Amino acid sequence: MPLKTPLRRLSKISLNKRLVKKATDGYLSLAKHVIAADNQTENVVVSPLSIHVALSLCAAGSSGSARDQILTYLKSERVEHLSSFYSKIVATIFAEGHAGGPLLSTKNGLWVDQSLTLKPAFRDIVQNSYKAVAQHVDFWYQTEEARQKVNLWCEKATNGRITEVLRPNSIFDLTRLIFTNAVYFKGTWSNEFDADLTRDADFHLLNGSSIRVPFMTSRDKQYIGIFDGFKVVKLPYHHGRDTSRFSMYIYLPDAKTGCHL
């Protein structure tokens, strides 16, 4: 009898680690494809969690080979595993009530053309597992109004940081469904950079040229890891009485092709 509780806990922990590893592998695969794409002249910001949520919702609403392909890409066996995994993320990482730590939230939205009807089982997953807003809009006759409605939702979900997620002419009368996910994060580093120490220096571009940009400078000790081909610096965020810990990790390859995901 005394062994039952520890074994159950171990099994539960192992399952969580396995799901996290699968999700992480998928995120790294996505990042690899983004980095390998032809975006050499522009900065790219991508939220793997947002894409994971959108694809998970697509899997929940699809069937047959389409669902199988999405599940394979997300490295998951069943749709239920995806919704359960997201619920656990929300209950732990995005849980409210932490005092003194960073502000962190995620919100989901589903925008369906008024000519379509959501199946009850899918609507249940959308509303209960993903806590998503499901609204019908008129993509056919009121395209601009639908675009503005999605943008307004995004603006509220990001506390005014993103005011236009859908640009003009980004949707049209043949649009039938839009998935939205917003992740909001605002935190203060444990050791803030002194603005008076900011200095201009050369920033080297991938094409071999360089530009002058302001560099933040600190005399504080930093968490730095040195690996084969790249270095990593860890910048912890102030957590107060928050039981969670958040940090920013910056990866610096030793050379142009020295770092591979």
| Helices marked H in 37-164 | 48-61, 64-73, 79-92, 120-124, 143-157
Mean pLDDT of 101-109: 89
> Is there a single domain that holds both residue 164 and residue 207?
no
| Confidence at residue 260, expressed as pLDDT on a 0 to 100 scale | 41
- Domain boundary residue among 138, 164, 186? 186
Domain count, the chain: 2
Are 176 and 214 in the same domain?
no
Per-residue pLDDT reduced to its tens digit, 19-49: 778 778 878 887 777 777 665 567 778 888 8
Structural domain contains residue 259? no
| Paired tokens of 185 | 């994060």
Is residue 218 included in any domain, yes or no? yes
* 216, 181: one domain: no
Residue 228 included in any domain: yes
Residue 117 lies in a domain: yes
Question: Percentage of the chain with pLDDT > 90?
Answer: 51
60 domain residue, yes or no = yes
Q: What's the pLDDT score for residue 57? A: 94
**What confidence score (pLDDT) does residue 5 get?**
31
CATH assignment of the domain containing 236? 2.30.39.10
Could you tell me the two tokens for 112? Answer: 């369906």
* Residue closest to 57 by CA, chosen among 77, 94, 30, 83: 83
DSSP state of 194: P
The whole domain housing 238 covers: 195-253
Chain segment 183-217, per-residue pLDDT in tens: 999 999 999 899 999 999 998 887 788 999 999 99
Contact indicator for 213, 203 with CB cutoff of 8 Å? yes
Distance CA 225, CA 254 (A): 13
Check pLDDT > 90 for residue 224: yes
Residues 94 and 174 occupy one common structural domain: yes
